[in-house]
Amino acid sequence: MRRWLSQHRAALALSVRRLLAAPFNTLLSLLAIGIALTLPAFGYVVLDNLRELGRSASGVQEISVFMEVGAARKDIAEIESRLQTLSGIRFTFVPRDEALKRLQKSEEMAEIVASLPRNPLPDAFIVEPADASPEALDVLRQELASWPKVAHAQLDSAWVKRFDAFLRLGKLTVLMLAGLFGAGLVAVTFNTIRLQVLAQAAEIEVARMIGATDSFIRRPFHYFGALQGVLGGLVASGLVFAALHLLAGPVGELAALYGGSFVLHAPGVREIAALCAAGGILGWLGAQLSVSLSLRRFD
């Protein structure tokens, strides 16, 4: 175990020395890897913010449950007690008189409402479910509509579905970008390691002759690739933070024009760690491919 650790420590130290030995090349490689990781990472952050925006948009998650016009007080109490048994929802009761008052406050509707002989509006419940997925909302809407004395349960599902479809499309695009640029990262590492293997040819040849195993020879290259990927992930995180910082002002101004406020959320420690880990894994993969192909010439 001590020997195994000693070998890994030596390989890690060697890979750090190789990174530092050519600072300009290292910087360029890190920039290339960082930019390759930035685009999908930035796409992910934008989608995350949009998802958050969708969640906070008023009305998106609401189901309006309209009672029959002739529903009695006990029917309303029955629906209220049923709603109380449902988990993961919040609801408010809107009596028909209050609904009429709200309508009267509307300038366009005031005249029409005043001309009505009686209140045509039903009592209603506004239900806000925690699970905002279109499927869950639809299932809940159907359940609510089936309850006694409920005339209609209304959900603005078209909006929700369109928004969800847009997010899914965005997610797919980000995944495709991640695949594409991930392959780019593997290619950059592959080429860097190939050049390193060529530069270290003498050492590899001697080491093999005096008893080095393939894993001993590969280990510093693996560490190099993984280290380069992790550092590239940090560069990408920095670029994403910089982009969000630049966009924060204009996005805030845009939100203010619509009478709201919106703050872009930056990636957290978990997201940064995941980005670095992804960079590290892809770097390791590039190194593994490169070193496997390059070492064949020494057989």
Report which residue type is found at 216: F
Where do contacts with other proteins occur on this chain (CB under 8 A)? Answer: 2-4, 6-7, 10, 202-203, 205-214, 216
Kindly state the smallest distance separating residue 293's Cβ from other proteins, in Å: 17
Q: Among 82, 48, 19, which Cα is nearest to 224's?
A: 19
Both structure tokens of 15: 């890979």
- CB-wise, 107 or 299, nearer to other proteins? 299
- CB-wise, 210 or 246, nearer to other proteins? 210
Task: Specify burial of residue 296 (Cβ count, 10 A radius: 0-12, 13-18, 19+).
Answer: exposed
Kindly state the smallest distance separating residue 21's Cβ from other proteins, in Å: 10
Kindly state the smallest distance separating residue 25's Cβ from other proteins, in Å: 16
- CB-wise, 5 or 257, nearer to other proteins? 5
> What 3-state class would DSSP assign to 102?
helix
- CB-wise, 207 or 289, nearer to other proteins? 207
CB 32 within 8 A of CB 234: no
How far is residue 37 from each of residues 65, 217, 224, measured CA to CA in Å? 46, 28, 18
Query: DSSP for 118-150?
Result: S--PPPEEEEEES---HHHHHHHHHHHHTSTTE
- CB-wise, 117 or 211, nearer to other proteins? 211
- CB-wise, 11 or 41, nearer to other proteins? 11
Kindly state the smallest distance separating residue 26's Cβ from other proteins, in Å: 18
* Sole residue written with tokens 């002002």: 249
Kindly state the smallest distance separating residue 3's Cβ from other proteins, in Å: 3
What is the C-alpha separation between 283 and 49, in angstroms, rounded?
A: 29
Kindly state the smallest distance separating residue 231's Cβ from other proteins, in Å: 24
